[in-house]
Amino acid sequence: MSTASADIVVFSKERRPVLVVDVRGGSMYDTVESAAGLLRSLLAHQLLPSAPFFMLATPTQLFLWPRDGTSDDVPKFAAATKAVLDNYGSKRLQTDRLRSGALEFVIFFWLADLASGVRSPSPVSAADRMLLESGLFTYIQGGTADFDVEL
């Protein structure tokens, strides 16, 4: 049985993997086309753990795919990363200089807080709305998040 690793995995309250997150620094994957190309490559090389949702997080964009058999298409949902950075990072962070490690912490704490109920999704946050509109938030409620997970 082969395993694949993920930067972040969010689990349901039953401890089932629901969301796999790949965090990428820089601006190489900031368009829906380049994000879809990365997902196709990850799938082709079997580098993506199995979960109902996949998210690509970049310093400027969050892309979300439900894994419904058409996952190599462009992302079904997208939102700017700015609101998450403003809430969990620093409003002075410059996205062009943000390292992937710092971004990984920010994304982790955002998702962990939402999953555990530390905070509720904000309807004014496009990133939070993306989780609500996709149905992902329902799956992660009461769950947990982990770093560097092998599935």
Q: What is the mean pLDDT of residues 101-109?
A: 90
What confidence tier does 57 reach under pLDDT thresholds 50, 70, 90?
Answer: very high
**CA 122/CA 126 separation, integer angstroms:** 8
Q: Where are the alpha helices (DSSP H) in 1-116?
A: 32-44, 82-88, 100-116
H or E element in which residue 128 lies: helix 126-134
pLDDT at residue 1 in the model = 42
Task: Tell me the β-bridge partners of 62.
Answer: 57, 79
Domain spans of the chain, in order of start:
5-150
In this model, does residue 66 exceed pLDDT 90? yes
What confidence tier does 20 reach under pLDDT thresholds 50, 70, 90?
Answer: very high
